[in-house]
Amino acid sequence: MELKEQIDEVVKAIPKGVTLVAVSKTHPADKVMEAYEAGLRIFGESRPQELKAKYEALPKDIRWHMIGHLQTNKVKYIAPFVELIHSVDSERLLDAINKEGWKNGRVIDVLLEIHIAEENSKSGWELDELVKYLDKGDYKLLTNIRIRGLMGIATFTDNTEQVRMEFGRLHDIFTTFKKERFGKDFDTLSMGMTADWQIAVECGANMVRIGSLIFGAREQK
């Protein structure tokens, strides 16, 4: 199927109120441009240098999201323009983003990534560590970041009940944090990819990150 038709189908399938982040990592800029011409404006990337190169090559009304693991020394590549960083998983990274936000005269929106999958995949905060960090209250001094919500990656499995349980847990945490800690600006729950976005939406996601369903399979590393 043509990219344009594929995009139209995906866009049609996603309910109103759910934001689509088109995950363009590994795909060349001309492919991203084709998706742009088909109407997409929000793209997600997982490597800071690749993200910066595409930002420079492509139209400036694209809204770039960082979705992959981010090292503190690489925040500088994306800080001047990134719209949302989904994958914030440590106090050090929050501090680094805040510092780069300050240098660039920006308030950078971030999501806290929580580890919801089985043990073997290990990105994201453990809930108890995150709660301990938030209870300290230091994050309130980070005036160049704004915590907009949560992100999570479910276990890669055919067991849909397990995926549903993991997303359901993240939704519960999101609701509790919004009520008890963050309030109105805490409005984004990023969960769901090609294999599980429908379950994620059923569990309350309002942002999904979809790559291969739009662009086709990526080359294996």
Nearest to 197 by CA among 158, 135, 154, 136: 154
Judged by CB under 6 A, does residue 193 bind ligand PLP? yes
Axis-axis angle for helices 29-37, 48-57 (nearest 10): 60
Yes or no: say if 166 and 116 are a contact pair by the CB < 8 Å rule: yes
Q: Which window, 32-40, 103-111, 139-147, 193-201, contacts ligand PLP (CB under 6 A)?
A: 193-201
Contact between 172 and 164 (Cβ < 8 Å) = no
d(CA 177, CA 43) in angstroms, rounded, equals 27
Stretch that binds ligand PLP, among 30-38, 48-56, 103-111, 206-214 (CB under 6 A): 206-214
Q: Of these, 31, 68, 90, 91, which contacts ligand PLP (CB under 6 A)?
A: 68
The residue (of 94 and 213) whose beta carbon lies closer to ligand PLP is: 213
Residues 6+ apart with CB under 8 A from 49: 74, 77
Q: Which of 66, 67, 191, 201 binds ligand PLP (CB under 6 A)?
A: 67
Q: Does 211 bind ligand PLP (CB under 6 A)?
A: yes
DSSP assignment string, 100-134:
HHHHTT--EEEEEEB--S-TTS--SB-HHHHHHHH
CB nearer to ligand PLP: give 25 or 99. Answer: 25
Q: Among 7, 10, 23, 134, indicate the residue that binds ligand PLP (CB under 6 A).
A: 23
Residue 23 vs 32, nearer CB to ligand PLP: 23
Residues in contact with ligand PLP by CB under 6 A are: 23, 25, 46, 67-68, 153, 193-195, 209-213
